[in-house]
Amino acid sequence: MSNNQFKVGRAYWLRDGREVEYLARTDDGKHVVAPIIELETYEGYEVGRGPAEFTSELFTKPPVEKRSEQIASLQAEVRDLENRKTKLYSECLHSERDTRARLDRLKKFEGLERIEDFVEGRITHVVIEAYGDTIYDVLPLDDLQQYDSGYSRKPEGIKLISLFGKTNGDLQWKVNAWRDGSGSWRTILPCASDEEARQARRNLIQAGLSDHWTDYTPQRGYQFLRFAAAAIAEGIELSADQDEAYRAAMEKVRNQQRENLIKEIADRQKRLDALSNSETETREATNA
């Protein structure tokens, strides 16, 4: 084939059957070509070019070598195996692509964004509702183990963790007191590290502080005061108005505690005086 028959950008074939794109011709008459590569990825099929190479032979059609029947049969088996391999690889890619698509759809809903982390075992810590003043505790996932009642206290496995939902679409992870779900439930927030869990706890306290400050009144401010105390312990700065309200409420609590203590002391003194008078009257009656 004469050199003027090769056009830049056109597809041709090498002697080994590979399809290439024509790039240029060198001064010494060789051809610069790049293999055409087709790849199947998670996003679909992509066609690209491999690294450039030099060749002195190009063909407008794929060359076919004449082989013996035995070799041709073996080559057909190899091609069949390669086709099966490609098909299986394609099926795996489609399956993974579908799985990722489903997970991506699930992640759009709050509460489901950690589904994949649970499946892959990346959850290491949880933020869990606390009954005390801390409001939320950070625990390693292993601390949610249920233990047997024997002397050895062997772990029986993680307590039941379930996803709860409401008709409005709100979803929450919760852990049960027992593995069989027969106990009480507490809300948890799954996390992939201790650092993430502590930041999540801080975010929850800040959000709770803001929510309860919105409807705060001195007469019904218990939840705001809980979150304000937790925020201060966490090093979260209160706004000027929040700080003033918290200090005023705490002063009121201290005054009430002081009044209660004074009253209790007076009551005890009164009982002590009554007991002392009773003893005096008893002695006088005995001596009479």
Q: Quick one: angle between helices 222-234 and 240-287, nearest 10?
A: 110
| Cut 0.85: pTM above it | no
Cα distance between residue 200 and residue 204, in whole Å:
6
Percent of the chain surpassing pLDDT 90: 26
- Mean of per-residue pLDDT scores for the chain: 82
Cα distance between residue 163 and residue 1, in whole Å:
70
- Tell me 5's DSSP state: G
Residue 191: pLDDT band by 50, 70, 90 thresholds? very high
Q: How far apart are the first and last CA of the chain?
A: 147
Structure tokens at 233: 């312990």
121 vs 177: which has the higher pLDDT: 121
Structure tokens at 281: 């009257």
Q: CB count, 10 Å around CB of 196? A: 16
pLDDT surpassing 60 at residue 166? yes
Query: In the prediction, which pLDDT does 229 show?
Result: 92
Residues 6+ apart with CB under 8 A from 198: 138
